[in-house]
Amino acid sequence: MKNTYPKAEKLKSRNTIDLLFSEGKSVSKYPLRLVYVPLETTDPEEKIKMGVSVSKKYFKKAVDRNYFKRVLRETYRLNKSILLDSIDKPYAFMFLYQTKDRLSYQEITEKTIRLFEKFAETLQDKPL
């Protein structure tokens, strides 16, 4: 499997983002949070739509927010196989960094892996 983050995987639809925050469920692994909602899509190629967010409340400078967004996108790109292996239908995700603590890339990667594994466990526990 390729470790890519193509344009087709980027979450850009305002309607989907609104749906995520109104009806989505979430899993957290401090300081990361993953909000998700199943999608009804006709395209079988689109299994994941992923958006990334870093709060302006914690990082006032755009430079700092952009750095953490880059790190989150990179950790997602390298570990998205955990998500793809656990889902059977399309999902939209919003990946949030929710603290003012400046964690290192290594720490964020470890937390991301744990968060994705926790998401996979919640899907397995959920009755169909």
Q: What is the pTM of this model?
A: 0.90
What fold, for 9-115? Ribosomal Protein S5; domain 2 (3.30.230)
> What phi, psi does 123 have (nearest 5°)?
-70, -35
Model confidence over 2-57: pLDDT tens digits?
788 889 899 999 999 999 999 999 999 999 999 999 998 766 677 899 999 999 99
Instruction: Give CA torsion, residues 40, 45, 47, 51, to 10 deg.
Output: -100
Q: Is the pLDDT of residue 1 over 90?
A: no
Give a three-class secondary structure readout of 30-87. Answer: CCEEEEEEECCCCCCCCCEEEEEEECCCCCCCHHHHHHHHHHHHHHHHHHHHHHHHHC
- The ranges assigned to domains in the chain are 9-115
pLDDT tens digits, one per residue of 104-114: 999 999 999 99
